Every structure is written in C-alpha cells, then in structure tokens.
C-alpha cells in the first residue's frame, strides 16, 4: 500500500465520509474492523448465556417476558454484527471457529456467574449501561455497515438498561433481604463493568490508530470516566453504595475520581482464566455441534434447488 493511497483514505475519513464494503481500504483498517466487529458479535452471543440462566427462574410472568425479549434482542445483535463483519470478507463460520478455538476474544464481562436474580438487574443497569456508553459513539463509526447496525442495537440496549435499573429499584425498595441482594450484585458487578472499557489508554494497543480512523470516537479511559460519572448518581438514588473507597466527586475536575482496576484479574479473564470462561465456550461448542445437522440440511436443500433450477 503506497503512501498516496493511505493519505487519500485518511482524507476521506477526515472529511467524515462513510467507508462502504466495496470501497478500497487499507488492509489494517479492514483487519481492525473484522477483529472488533467479530469480538463484538461474539460478545452479544456469549452474553445471552449468563442471563439465559435466569429465564426459567424469573420471579413473575412480566419479568420473564422482558428478560426473554432482552436475550432474544442480544441474539439479533449478534446476527447483525456477524453480517456487518461478513461485508469485510470473513464468513460467520470462520469467526465462529476462531471463537471456539479460543483465538477470538469476547467481552471479559460475560465470564462472571449470575448467582441471584439481582444479578439480572445489575447486568441490565451496569453491563448494558456500559455497553451503551461504548456503542453510542460507534453509531458514528467511519465504517458504514457497522455504524448503521449500531443505531438499532443502541435503541434496544437502552430498553435493556431501563429494565435492569427497574429491577434494581424494586429490590432496593423491597425487604431488607432484597435490598441486600441488590447491594451484593452491585458489589460483584461494579469492577467487572469498569473493565469492559478495556485497558488504560496508555496500554491500549489499537486505540490511537482506531481513533485516527474514526472507528473509535472516544478512548477507553474517556468512556470509562463518562460511565462512572453517569452511573454513580443512579446508584446513590437507589440508596446503594459502590465497592470503591476511592470513589469521590472531584469538584476541580468536574468528574468522579475512582480507584484502580485490578488489571491482573482483567488480563486473567481476557486470557481464558475467568470464573466462567470454560463453561461459556463449552456452551457455544455444544450449540455449534448440535446445529451441525441444520447447516448440513440447509446446504443440501440449497444444492437440490440449484440442481433443479439448472435442469
């Protein structure tokens, strides 16, 4: 790739033009998007598991209907995202095989267990809240298909966030035991939610280049700060406390200060050593194996139709 091509491409990016599937693009731009969109798609699909765990145990029909809809939305998000990645020349089969081989990442957050019903509230409030903070700017990503997919995804995520916060509100205003459950869920999900935004900017391998290409619009640390700033007042409104003694409003900065993430835990979970990594991959492997007959039947059907059309 010569410099003139790279410069011309950067000019299009700087002019806020959307890049579309058939446009010429630097190989690095394509690879970055395949990596990020692929990881994002896997996160949506693996993300169905921790909550799916509670569908049969939701405390009421209303809660069950909402949770079922939310988990289905996540399946849908995964499918749009795989389709967006496919416009860059990878197939869904390839992406899935990479996931199952442990080569493709998915968000660290989905490697934690959902121990009580309150976890469903905390996930909606915090995990979907963090996801929205990260994904709203992706609606302006320079790559057209990814940006467009994000618009609908974000609308659905905001419903997910509200259903989670409403569960938290009900528990926090309930019996002392229910409030305790809500507090315990916040204690366990707070730090992993902050980890969703990725390493510090100084350790973010892809951050600078992705900002230049306008794939990312804000850095990992900027988004994490925005999330803390908007979430802490919501927790205070619930009458709950955050498991961080260093969390404090900083008048001068106009932001909350907060403690340091346990980065050893973060990297351990990212590299496969989290509490639920093995279970999550085993569940995906089982679904893939059990779906083999469907893929084979669909292929055989397509071949039969093709042969008939040619006859």
Binding residues (CB under 6 A) for ligand ACO: these are 35-36, 39-40, 43-44, 47, 105, 107-108, 131, 134, 195-199, 204-207, 210, 220, 270
Token pair of 72 as six digits:
């289905």
Kindly give, in sequence order, each residue whose CB lies less than 8 Å from that of residue 182, ignoring residues fewer than 6 positions away: 118, 121, 122, 168, 171, 172, 238, 240
Q: What is the DSSP letter of 102?
A: T
Tokens standing for 230?
A: 């908007």
> By C-beta, is 150 or 172 nearer to ligand ACO?
150
Instruction: Supply the minimum distance, in Å, between the C-beta of residue 225 and ligand ACO.
Output: 14
Q: How far apart are CA 186 and CA 183, in angstroms?
A: 5
Nearer to ligand ACO, 129 or 183 (CB): 129
Nearer to ligand ACO, 49 or 172 (CB): 49
The maximal CA–CA distance of the chain, rounded, in angstroms, is 77
| Residue 138 Cβ vs ligand ACO, minimum distance, rounded to whole Å | 6
Give the residue with the Cβ less far from ligand ACO, 121 or 207. Answer: 207
In angstroms, give the least distance from the CB of 140 to ligand ACO: 13
Q: Which of 239, 280, 121 is nearest to 188 (CA)?
A: 121
**Tokens of residue 293, six digits:** 């007959």
30 contacts: CB under 8 Å, gap ≥ 6: 88, 89
The Cα–Cα gap between 34 and 41 comes to 10
Which residue, 271 or 301, is less far from ligand ACO as judged by CB? 271
For the bound state, the minimum distance from the C-beta of residue 79 to ligand ACO, rounded and expressed in Å, comes to 13
The nearer residue to ligand ACO, 168 or 172, going by C-beta atoms, is 168
Place of tokens 């990297």: 267
Minimum distance between the CB of residue 286 and ligand ACO, rounded to whole angstroms? 21
Instruction: Supply the minimum distance, in Å, between the C-beta of residue 273 and ligand ACO.
Output: 12
């Amino acid at each position: 790739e010569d410099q003139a091509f790279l410069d011309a491409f950067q000019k299009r990016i700087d002019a806020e033009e959307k890049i579309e599937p058939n446009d010429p693009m630097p190989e690095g731009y394509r690879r970055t998007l395949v990596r990020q969109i692929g990881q994002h798609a896997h996160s949506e699909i693996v993300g169905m598991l921790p909550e799916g765990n509670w569908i049969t145990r939701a405390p009421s029909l209303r809660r069950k209907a909402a949770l079922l809809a939310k988990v289905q939305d996540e399946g849908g998000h995964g499918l749009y995202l795989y389709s967006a990645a496919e416009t860059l020349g990878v197939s869904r089969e390839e992406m899935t095989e990479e996931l199952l081989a442990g080569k493709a990442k998915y968000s660290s957050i989905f490697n934690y267990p959902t121990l009580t019903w309150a976890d469903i509230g905390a996930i909606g409030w915090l995990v979907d809240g963090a996801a929205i903070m990260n994904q709203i700017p992706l609606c302006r990503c320079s790559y057209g298909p990814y940006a467009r997919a994000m618009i609908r995804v974000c609308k659905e995520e905001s419903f997910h966030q509200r259903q989670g916060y409403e569960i938290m509100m009900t528990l926090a205003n309930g019996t002392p035991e229910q409030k305790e459950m809500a507090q315990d869920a916040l204690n366990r999900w707070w730090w992993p939610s902050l980890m969703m935004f990725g390493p510090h900017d100084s350790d973010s391998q892809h951050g600078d280049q992705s900002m230049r290409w306008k794939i990312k619009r804000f850095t990992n640390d900027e988004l994490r700060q925005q999330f803390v700033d908007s979430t802490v007042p919501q927790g205070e409104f619930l009458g709950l406390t955050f498991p961080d003694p260093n969390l404090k409003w900083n008048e001068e900065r106009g932001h909350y200060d907060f403690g340091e993430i346990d980065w050893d835990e973060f990297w351990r979970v990212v590299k496969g050593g989290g509490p639920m990594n093995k279970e999550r991959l085993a569940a995906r492997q089982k679904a893939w194996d059990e779906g083999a007959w469907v893929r084979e039947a669909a292929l055989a059907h397509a071949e039969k139709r093709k042969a008939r059309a040619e006859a």
